[in-house]
Structure 1
Amino acid sequence: MSQEMLDRILNTVIDINVNMDRRFEKVFEHFDRLVDRMGETAVLEMSLIVKGHEEQIGQMGRGE
């Protein structure tokens, strides 16, 4: 093979590697956003549970 052909192959491999790195970065960013959203959802659900328990305690205190 000629040097030119080897250079083209090498450049193609490098381009593929760079593209794959970008794709993995996007996947990791998406995963991080999902984890953040799951955390927000868990906090919201927990606050609703606490609010429900507070309402039950209040009703018990009023004799309802």
Structure 2
Amino acid sequence: MKTKHIVPRRTYLTTNGTRSLLRLAKLALMAIPTGLKMYSRRLQLSLKSLKELVALYNATRIWKNI
């Protein structure tokens, strides 16, 4: 049962927005350690690939400048 309450938009946004943001922040904080454990290897791999991509981009840029 979804009922729409007629509420001024400002108050609605402030109350609900802050609540949802706090909830999201709490979830994120709780999920950070497990996420770090889970994705540390993936992160390292992605960082390596990113560094390689950056190096390639810089190399091509230098090549174009010559």
What is the TM-score of this pair, normalised by structure 1? 0.45
What is the TM-score of this pair, normalised by structure 2? 0.44
Larger Rg: 1
